Amino acid sequence: MARVYATLEDFTDFIGDVDPGTNISVLLRRCSADIDRYTLTSRYACDATGMPTEPYVIEAFKDATCAQAAWYLETADGDPTGAAGQYDSVGIGSVSMSKRSGDDTTASPATSRDSPEAIQILTNAGLLRAAL
């Protein structure tokens, strides 16, 4: 079972009101997986399920997860894959894609997936892996 580091209540405390149509629980689960991708379990104590046990780590993971979710909502239309934030339109039959105007064409989907605030939270707590 996937670890989830923040709840809907944590997210609304962090960001404020949320559009009722947004499935925050799914987004927080996906963002928690990103937090796992950014960190190394060898840097903190955890229980048998892999959840952190130290209060400062729990707080950092919660805040970083919320920051990551807010980033997706702001930059990628709530899409954790980053695909929605890359294009104005995408087609399937005879494949047709239209890049967002004004976007830096050198930006990769992986780069757009990383919330600078989440990275900063984990860095300040000494939990970020050496390289993403």
Percent of the chain whose predicted confidence (pLDDT) is above 70 = 71
CA atoms of 34 and 97, how far apart (whole Å): 27
* 99 or 67, higher pLDDT: 67
Q: Where are the domains of the chain?
A: 8-124
pLDDT tens digit string along 17-26? Answer: 888 888 899 9
Tens of pLDDT, residue by residue over 32-79, are: 999 999 888 888 999 999 899 999 999 999 999 999 999 988 886 555
pLDDT of 1 above 80: no
Tokens (6 digits) for 88: 């104005």
Cβ atoms 75, 18 nearer than 8 A: no
Contact predicate 32/3, CB 8 Å: yes
Task: HSE, CB side, 13 Å, CA atoms: give it for residue 29.
Answer: 6
Could you tell me the pTM of the whole model? 0.75
Q: What is the pLDDT of residue 17?
A: 83
Q: What is the pLDDT of residue 28?
A: 95
Cα dihedral sign, 4-61-126-113: positive
